[in-house]
Amino acid sequence: MATTSMVQGEQLKQILEAALLAAGQPLSHAQLGALFSDEERPPGGEISRALEQLGLDCARRGVELKKVASGWRLQVRQDLNEWVARLWKERPQRYSRALLETMALIAYRKPITRGEIEAVRGVSVSTNIIRTLQEREWIRVVGHRDVPGKPALFGTTRVFLDSFDLQNLDDLPTLAEIRDMESLEPELQLEPAPPAADPPADAAGRADDASLETEDPVQP
């Protein structure tokens, strides 16, 4: 009976590439190691070296190997998105500046309550905005503030990090480097918003609702 030998070299790299293509989502180092039986499994260092070599190979191709919070994934190179996006006729989902400002505050100041977000923005935060962020799994409730009413504390998720090609929140510029939302545009892929007057205080929530999917597209 033939014995099974450890997978290594070019075959190891090909297996990792095939798995990452087939998965359609990030795979952790442990998940990649689990592809192999006990007899086949290479040392962790060999897997890391194969991933490094695969990344170098991709430098000359239309895809790139990216490490994000949940692991490694193969994705279309960002400078080619303009052309690849034409494969899909549906327009990409659009998000309002209100939603993105809320998301940014949670990312930078987590854990944070809805009331604290409203205090910074100066307008009420629409329930639809919070619901949208939760449905996208970009935010989650991480606890409750120990004050009357026990308001929920919101924080970011691994899905948020993966969506914006981040390994952790340290990959974002520090708050000290941020002067206003315009400074966040390169990080959140925002387009400039047209100038608009602030809505009346009693209409702020309705304004956020109305603009939930009509302003400032972002395509993570």
The amino acid that residue 117 corresponds to is I
Q: How far is CA 147 from the centre of its chain?
A: 31
Q: Which residue has the higher pLDDT, 55 or 198?
A: 55
Of 93, 94, 98, 91, the residue nearest 209 (C-alpha): 98
In this predicted structure, the answer to whether residue 196 has a pLDDT above a threshold of 70 is no
Share of the chain above pLDDT 70, in %: 75
Does 75 lie in the same domain as 102? no
Q: What is the pLDDT of residue 158?
A: 93
- 157 and 73 in one domain? no
Structure tokens at 70: 């949940």
Which of 44, 79, 114 is at the close of a domain? 79
Q: What is the average pLDDT score of the chain?
A: 79
Residues 60 and 118 in one domain: no
- Whether 87 is covered by a domain: the verdict is no
User: In the chain, what percentage of residues exceed pLDDT 90?
Assistant: 48
- What does the pLDDT read at residue 220? 46
More confident residue, 93 or 118: 118
Task: State how many domains the chain has.
Answer: 2
Instruction: Return the pLDDT at 24.
Output: 85
Would you say residue 91 lies in a domain?
no
C-alpha–C-alpha distance, residues 207 and 114, integer Å: 17
Q: Is the pLDDT of residue 96 over 50?
A: yes
- Say yes or no: 108 and 204 in one domain: yes
Amino acid (one-letter) located at 71: G
Contact 142, 154 (CB under 8 A): yes
Distances 154 to 102, 107, 114, 118, 158 between C-alpha atoms, Å? 11, 9, 8, 13, 14
Largest CA distance in the chain: 80
pLDDT tens for residues 150-173? 999 999 999 999 988 899 888 886
Unique residue bearing structure tokens 């100066």: 122
Q: Are residues 50 and 145 in the same domain?
A: no
The pLDDT tens digits for 5-52 are 888 888 999 999 999 999 989 999 999 999 999 889 888 789 999 999
Q: Are 91 and 136 in contact (CB under 8 A)?
A: no
Q: Which two tokens stand for residue 183?
A: 């400074």
Same domain, 163 and 102: yes
Least confident of 58-67, 109-118, 174-183: 174-183
pLDDT of 200 over the 70 cut: no
| Residues 102 and 205 reside in one and the same domain | yes
Domain assignment of residue 18, given as a range: 9-79
The CATH number of the domain holding residue 161 is 1.10.10.10
